[in-house]
């Protein structure tokens, strides 16, 4: 929170009473002795400074709005209580109140000219020209529900607080000694010798006795609990579900084909070469040379160009931007050179090297596709009418099946499905339309009740019913014995392997070498060099790297392999400090982060000190009153 105080001038949201501060109430050390239940309209007082019921409610509502925007939905009062927003707002107001009281004692103030300048500097209130815009100012304040006078009072209050905050934290930098220690810490690398201890060292694991398995099962019974299942039926209604291809006549198909023939035709394309000249005289001279027996390729070479320079590509006529070039090129025969054409970039000669004629698909080939598309188009047009007809049938007492049969729709029934779209045998139901939304709706519905449909995009509906509910329950051991034995065996293997690793770790600490253990276990000792503290090593994983950096040189340890199928026993063979590590090698963003953290610590201490200097009293009755309207 104090970091937000220090940076309050950064954004207009922060300036509006520091509304985005999120701190637990306990951080500020507000003890039970400071809380009272007296009357009045003051939520809290700090010395001679107080916060009213209205001010608390304003801060509370804005905190709710901020969180609602963050989560994308309106936060309810119950959710706000669960988040502890009431105490978070109190913490923010206490911090501001003690700073205000200190400012009052110190006689700090702010002139109207300075307040006007701060307001004008706020980019949230500036127009396109970068200057203060009164209309923008009014608009922004309306968006947050604040009057101009309230804004000026709040902005002035924050600016005065800022004077105290800046006096404490401005110019704070992390000491070079600290930065050098950080550089050494981050830059260190290690050489680690290690053995991989496979499961085979403790296998085979005998099947558990009945009493052992029964005890273990009771301790883990919830893992095997059967979730709630529901039998559901649904009717999907999209254009494809109600399309009637039989209703589309041959005349309609023929008419659509003629109307959209261009859509069913692949246009003629030509491979075209274009040689551009600087002057018409040069172009005519080149054309005369070709007429005299020279080849187009020879002329291209004489102009200092290559075939790649002249190639326009294989294109349809409508893809050529220059109309004169397009008309000329599509009037030529194959391998024919054009007369001089005045193109957009100068006089040109054209050659067509290949012609691919237009291809028109016959009606017979397209008839089925056109029929389907016309049926879908008509179905999209009458979808709402079909929707209304289905709902009318249900309103008249018809069952889902009766209403669906009348409209030639299919009813799909799933005998049992849980919230994860799984059947009791563990297989997934992957054919549900609008799966996530439909399952959520089904599990919120009462059994046997007609429900509003779930929409599918912008052009479909799913009507559904929960026909019956099978409540969640604990399964018996006999129902899941095979899986329980497998799970117990896996856990027991991991437990025994970890114990084996701990035993071997102790032997190394007692003087046995890693080479000796490798020989005993018929395992290969491996060495990892250049291991860095922040590495996500493929063999060790981040937890393993942390373990390797958690001991000193010659230190030993053991940790689970990332794949979970082995333990890794290691010894740190060497530790290397980075060469040239110093304060100047620490990145600038890290320096700023350290400086901000130290500033926050100072501000923590300041606020804590002010709370001992100025008695903070909180009126819980006033808080309740603030939240009651």
Residues 38 and 156 in one domain: yes
99-112 pLDDT per residue, tens: 888 888 888 877 88
Whether residues 44 and 117 fall in one domain: yes
Residues 466 and 531 placed together within one structural domain of the fold: no
pLDDT of residue 629: 60
Distance CA 210, CA 206 (A): 12
Residues in the chain: 629
- Is 140 part of any domain? yes
Torsion of the alpha carbons at 136, 137, 143 and 145, rounded to the nearest 10? -160
Cis peptide before 204 (omega within 30 of 0): yes
Specify the CATH number for the domain of residue 302: 3.10.50.40
- Separation CA 159–CA 154 (nearest Å): 9
239 plus 381 within the same structural domain: yes
**Residue 455: which CATH number?**
3.10.50
Q: Are residues 87 and 37 in the same domain?
A: yes
Residue 553 is predicted with a pLDDT of 94
* Tokens 């968006």 belong to residue: 143
Closest CA to 196 of 551, 527, 537: 527
Question: For the segment 446-457, what is each residue's pLDDT rounded down to a tens digit?
Answer: 999 999 999 998
Average confidence (pLDDT) over 198-213:
95
> Are residues 162 and 136 located together in one domain of the fold?
yes
Question: How far is it, in rounded angstroms, from Cα 194 to Cα 524?
Answer: 9
Among 470, 504, 529, where does a domain finish? 470
What pLDDT is stored for residue 27 in this prediction?
Answer: 30
Residue 252 included in any domain: no
Q: Would you say residue 19 has pLDDT above 70?
A: no
Boundary (domain end) residue, out of 447, 470, 493: 470
pLDDT at 286: 93
- Pinpoint the alpha helices (H) of 445-584: 481-509, 514-521, 541-548
Give domain status of residue 586, yes or no. Answer: no
Residue 178 lies in a domain: no
Query: Does the pLDDT of residue 25 top 70, yes or no?
Result: no
What are the structure tokens assigned to 370, written together?
Answer: 């056109």
Taking 90 as the threshold, does the pLDDT of residue 585 lie above it?
no
Tokens linked to 458: 């912008």
Q: Identify whether residues 152 and 48 lie together within a single domain.
A: yes
The C-alpha atoms of residue 328 and residue 347 are separated, in whole angstroms, by 12
Mark residue 294 as left, alpha or beta (left: phi above 0; alpha: psi -120 to 50; beta: remaining).
beta
Q: Confirm whether 61 is domain-assigned.
A: yes
pLDDT band at residue 31 using 50, 70 and 90 as cut-offs: very low
Last residue of a domain, one of 470, 505, 535: 470
161 pLDDT band, cuts 50/70/90, is confident
Three-state SS at 591: helix
Reported as a pLDDT band with limits 50, 70 and 90, residue 40 is low
Q: Is residue 15 part of a domain?
A: yes
Given a cut of 90, whether residue 73 has pLDDT beyond it is no
The CATH number of whichever domain residue 65 belongs to comes to: 1.10.4030
Q: Could you tell me which residues come within 8 angstroms of residue 206 by beta carbon, excluding any fewer than 6 positions away?
A: none
| Sequence-separated (6 or more) residues with CB below 8 Å from residue 400 | 233, 235, 394, 411, 450, 463, 465
Minimal CA–CA distance to 87: which of 610, 601, 620, 609? 620
Q: Which of 426, 416, 439 is nearest to 230 (CA)?
A: 416
As a whole number, the mean pLDDT across the chain is 86
Look at strands 35-36 and 616-619 and give their pairing: parallel
Question: Is residue 285, in this structure, part of any structural domain at all?
Answer: yes
Same domain, 112 and 162: yes
| 8 Å CB contact between 609 and 2 | no
- Are 142 and 18 members of one domain? yes
Strand order in the sheet with 526-532: 526-532, 189-198, 566-576, 556-560
133 token code pair: 């815009």
pLDDT at 14 over 50: no
pTM: 0.53
| DSSP symbol at 422 | B
Range name among 92-106, 431-445, 463-477, 515-529 with the lowest pLDDT average: 92-106
Structural contact between residues 114 and 170, judged by C-beta atoms closer than 8 angstroms: no
pLDDT, one tens digit per residue, over 377-420 is 999 999 999 999 999 999 999 999 999 999 999 999 999 999 99
Same domain, 154 and 8: yes
Q: Domain count of the chain?
A: 4
Q: Strands 566-576, 311-316: parallel, antiparallel or unpaired by DSSP? A: unpaired
pLDDT at residue 129 greater than cutoff 50: yes
More confident residue, 59 or 556: 556
Q: Are residues 136 and 7 in the same domain?
A: yes
The pLDDT assigned to 334 comes to 92
Sign, Cα dihedral of 98, 101, 107, 113: positive
The boundaries of the domain holding residue 237 are: 229-243+376-470
In a domain, residue 253? The reply is no
Place of tokens 């931007």: 321
Indicate whether 298 and 423 sit together in one domain.
no
């Amino acid at each position: 929170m104090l970091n937000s105080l220090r940076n309050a001038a950064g954004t207009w949201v922060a300036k509006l009473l520091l509304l985005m501060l999120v701190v637990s109430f306990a951080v500020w050390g507000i003890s039970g002795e400071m809380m009272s239940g007296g009357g009045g309209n003051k939520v809290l007082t700090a010395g001679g400074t107080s916060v009213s019921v209205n001010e608390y409610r304003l801060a509370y509502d804005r905190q709710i709005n901020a969180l609602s925007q963050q989560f994308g939905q309106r936060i309810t009062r119950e959710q706000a209580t669960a988040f502890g927003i009431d105490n978070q707002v109190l913490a923010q107001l206490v911090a501001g109140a003690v700073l205000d009281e200190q400012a009052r004692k110190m006689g700090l103030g702010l002139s109207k000219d300075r307040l006007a300048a701060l307001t004008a500097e706020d980019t949230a209130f500036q127009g396109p020209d970068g200057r203060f815009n009164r209309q923008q100012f009014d608009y922004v304040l309306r968006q947050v529900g604040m009057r101009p006078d309230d804004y000026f009072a709040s902005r002035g209050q924050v600016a005065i607080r800022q004077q105290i905050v800046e006096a404490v934290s401005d110019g704070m930098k992390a000491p070079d000694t600290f930065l050098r220690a950080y550089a050494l810490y981050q830059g260190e690398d290690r050489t680690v010798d290690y053995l991989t201890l496979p499961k085979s060292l403790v296998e085979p694991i005998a099947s558990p006795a009945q009493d052992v398995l029964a005890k273990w099962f009771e301790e883990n019974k919830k893992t095997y609990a059967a979730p709630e299942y529901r039998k559901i039926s649904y009717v999907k209604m999209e254009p494809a579900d109600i399309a009637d291809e039989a209703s589309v006549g041959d005349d309609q198909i023929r008419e659509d084909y003629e109307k959209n023939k261009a859509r069913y035709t692949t246009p003629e394309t030509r491979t075209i070469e274009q040689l551009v000249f600087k002057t018409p005289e040069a172009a005519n001279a080149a054309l005369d040379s070709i007429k005299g027996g020279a080849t187009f390729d020879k002329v291209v070479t004489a102009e200092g160009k290559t075939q790649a320079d002249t190639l326009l590509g294989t294109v349809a006529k409508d893809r050529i931007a220059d109309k004169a070039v397009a008309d000329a090129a599509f009037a030529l025969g194959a391998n024919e050179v054009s007369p001089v054409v005045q193109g957009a970039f100068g006089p040109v000669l054209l050659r067509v090297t290949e012609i691919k004629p237009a291809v028109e698909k016959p009606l017979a080939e397209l008839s089925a596709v056109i029929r389907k598309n016309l049926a879908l188009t008509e179905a999209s047009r009458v979808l709402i009418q079909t929707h209304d007809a289905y709902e009318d049938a249900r309103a008249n007492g018809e069952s889902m099946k009766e209403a669906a049969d009348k409209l030639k729709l299919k009813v799909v029934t799933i005998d049992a499905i849980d919230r994860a779209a799984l059947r009791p045998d563990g297989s997934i139901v992957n054919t549900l339309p609008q799966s996530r939304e439909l399952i959520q709706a089904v599990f919120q519905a009462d059994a046997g009740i007609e429900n509003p449909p779930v929409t599918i995009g912008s052009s479909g509906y799913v009507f559904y019913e929960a026909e019956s509910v099978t409540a969640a329950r604990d399964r018996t051991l006999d129902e899941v014995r095979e899986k329980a034995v497998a799970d117990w065996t896996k856990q027991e293997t991991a437990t025994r392997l970890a114990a084996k690793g701990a035993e071997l770790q102790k032997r190394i600490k007692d003087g046995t070498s890693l080479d000796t253990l490798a020989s005993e276990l018929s395992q290969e000792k491996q060495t990892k060099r250049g291991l860095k503290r922040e590495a996500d090593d493929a063999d060790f994983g981040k937890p393993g790297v942390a373990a390797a950096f958690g001991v000193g040189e010659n230190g030993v340890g053991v940790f689970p392999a990332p794949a979970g199928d082995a333990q890794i026993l290691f010894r740190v063979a060497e530790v290397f400090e980075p060469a040239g590590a110093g304060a100047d090698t620490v990145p600038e963003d890290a320096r700023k982060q350290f400086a901000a953290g130290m500033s926050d610590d100072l501000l923590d201490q300041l606020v804590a000190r002010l709370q001992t200097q100025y008695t903070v009293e909180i009126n819980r009755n006033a808080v309740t009153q603030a939240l009651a309207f």
